[in-house]
Amino acid sequence: MGCNHSTIDDVKPARRVAGGSSIAAPMTKHEIHTRIESINETRSATFGGVTVRYAYLSQRGYYPDDAHKPNQDAFVAQHNFANRSTDAFFGVFDGHGNDGDKCAQFVRDNLPKILAEGIAKARGEVLPDAGEQPVEVSSSGLSKESTHEIIRSSHNECNRQMRTSPDLDDSLSGTTSISVYLHGHRNRITISNVGDSRAVVGRLPTINTNSEISKEDGRNAIMLSRGAASSSLSTSASTKLKAYALSRDQTPHRRDERVRIRKTGARILSLDQIEGLEPIDKDDAEHDEESWLSGARKGGEKSAESGGEMILGEEIDEGGDPPRVWHPHGDYPGTAFTRSIGDAVAEELGVISDPEMITRNLTPEDKIIVLASDGVFEFLTNQSVIDICAKFADPLEACRAVVAESYELWLQYELRTDDITMICIFIDDVDLDKALRASASSLVGFNKSRKSTAEVDDELATDPARPLRTNMSAEKSRALLKTKASSSSMDSSNGVSEDDFEIETLYHDKTAEEKLRIDDAIRGHLIFQNITDFQRELIYKVLVPTKVTKGEWVIRQGTHGDHFYIVDEGLFEVRILSENATDQDDATGGDCVHIYEGSRETNSHPSFGELALKYSAPRAASIIARTDGHLWALHRYAFKKIIADGRDRRDSNEQ
């Protein structure tokens, strides 16, 4: 089954602000929720030897200049795939360009069908008519190599069919594709990736990393994990899950992709380089080629991909300006990815639809699989996503939390948000005996060296991905400088310098229950991931309990604030002023683009304002209490002092 993009809200009367510009009326809570499409409730299923619970959620992006832009993401979850009750197919597709939504929906509707037909043909079968019962088989089925070839040709055939579709124009539009083909009778998955959407697995510590998984080890792992993780991943097991990449982003950040693209004559430059705002290193291409050849001579393809200095790396993308693919004689198409389905103009420059694939067996250590569009991973690491998911017993709640966190980070760093889509699969049980009954060559099914699953995961974890965004975009920074705030808020600085700041004045004792709520709120944040137990206890002490009344401004856009906030209870609106407007022109604070909802009953404790822990900068949005509520406030000076004291303590222990 597939899902259409989110329904577009009814057009509301526009209101005017200073200068005569027209902006959409603020969204209500209901309207905000209509931008979210998800499964009604988590679905449970057993595919051969694999028992899972899964959910999906997609949130339409916020674009100030196009309030009703359709969601360009699509997704699919199919049971009984290719006439096998033991098989399933999950996919996320992230469209781009004027017809990006149509491209994503085209792939959603056609790729699974083309792939299923190809698999059936390879088996010498014909797919049954709708309504006929799928077949349950115990045979080993197709080899890994045959499966990969069918998947590759299916993606290319889908690309060819899109090219001739009368319903869309894919000359400058297309879509990414990340999918999981689950072969349940062998406990095996095949991940296929085209573009920069991503697949990640969260695993418990591997029991045996030096040999193939034995039957006894597998049974022990099942016994160890059933009580801790199957019923609820929010227990202590959540702290043990480690994230491993199941795909590699295909972007110009990868040297192997740059070398391949440049062989077509294409240029690889950022937008600032195209516009002359950043210098162009004419030795980039030669350096890449030399590094590629050197790496290939020394260590094969793997070394060639990752060896040497990465010139087009993190510095270019700090503010959201990644390297892109350009025609040698024109400033187009400017794709920030090196593979896609569609994008006919870019195809002649090497932007192809060939997927990269891996096949591996699921083991009892595998607990969570996430498929998501790049809207999730722009500001969140793989580990952060798995950490957030592991806090919940329900994959639908995990989807809601990850998508909400991603959306909030987009609002902090950008003037807009991307469409954000995610499928979360909780693996409750893996019957190892089924895999052991399969052919010996299928135990790992990744390559001819028969490496263990853990060794394969370690390789995947070290593969380079695109850099994590850590700074505001240039557009966002310029907009904040233009924003004028006429009033203050409870977040405003009290004028105390960092040197005069006394952390002891903030100490508040917390109960064990309060500490648990706080810990639950900060666990998924990258900024808190490496703190020690000593630092964590200090953070508990300096978090200031803050009661808020309905209508109170917690943060005012354009002002400099010093606090990071955790929502303990209550509803808080996120509002953004239009460009050049002030809160005198618009006393509402601008468009309501999001609502934080904190609840002790549902264990939901979102947070906001984390940039204030790094530096003092104008606030990117206003936060207004919609109801009475309760917050925990962490001051930047207190946080910096705790981190510094932790380093001093660690250094003294090492001496």
Tens-digit pLDDT profile for residues 201-235: 999 986 544 433 333 333 333 333 333 334 445 44
Nearest to 248 by CA among 103, 459, 452: 459
* Residue 617 confidence class, pLDDT cut points 50, 70, 90: confident
Region 356-373: mean pLDDT is: 97
Tell me the residue type at 569.
E
Give, for 425, the enclosing helix (H) or strand (E): strand 420-430
Note the pLDDT of residue 553: 95
Nearest to 178 by CA among 188, 156, 193: 193
* Domain topology for 71-250+353-462: Phosphatase 2c; domain 1 (3.60.40)
* Domain topology for 474-654: Jelly Rolls (2.60.120)
Give, for 653, the enclosing helix (H) or strand (E): helix 636-654
Give, for 413, the enclosing helix (H) or strand (E): helix 395-413
Per the CB < 8 A criterion, the answer to whether 76 and 108 are in contact is: yes
Note the pLDDT of residue 561: 85
* Residue 237 confidence class, pLDDT cut points 50, 70, 90: very low
pTM confidence score: 0.77
* Residue 19 confidence class, pLDDT cut points 50, 70, 90: very low
The predicted-structure confidence for 66-101, as pLDDT tens digits, reads as follows 888 999 999 999 999 999 999 999 999 999 999 999
Neighbours of 36 (CB within 10 A): 18
Query: CA neighbours within 13 Å on the CB side: how many for 111?
Result: 37
User: 642-649 long-range contacts, Cβ below 8 Å, gap at least 24?
Assistant: 642/503, 642/531, 642/535, 642/538, 642/539, 642/542, 643/531, 643/535, 645/535, 645/538, 646/531, 646/532, 646/534, 646/535, 649/532, 649/534
Task: Estimate the crossing angle of helix 255-262 against helix 284-306, to 10 degrees.
Answer: 130
Going through 482-579 in order, the beta strands assigned E by DSSP cover 544-548, 553-555, 563-576
Q: For residues 441 and 634, what is the distance between their CA atoms, to the nearest angstrom? A: 54
Enumerate the domain spans of the chain. 71-250+353-462, 255-336, 474-654
Per the CB < 8 A criterion, the answer to whether 420 and 375 are in contact is: yes
DSSP per-residue string spanning 430-484 = E-HHHHHHS-GGGTT-S-TT---HHHHHHHHHHS--PPPP-S--HHHHHHHHH-B
Which residues does residue 427 pair with via DSSP β-bridges, in sequence order?
52
Token code pair at residue 589: 């604070």
Token code pair at residue 368: 């969570």
Instruction: Calculate Rg over the CA atoms of the chain.
Output: 25
Nearest to 74 by CA among 44, 54, 96, 52: 96
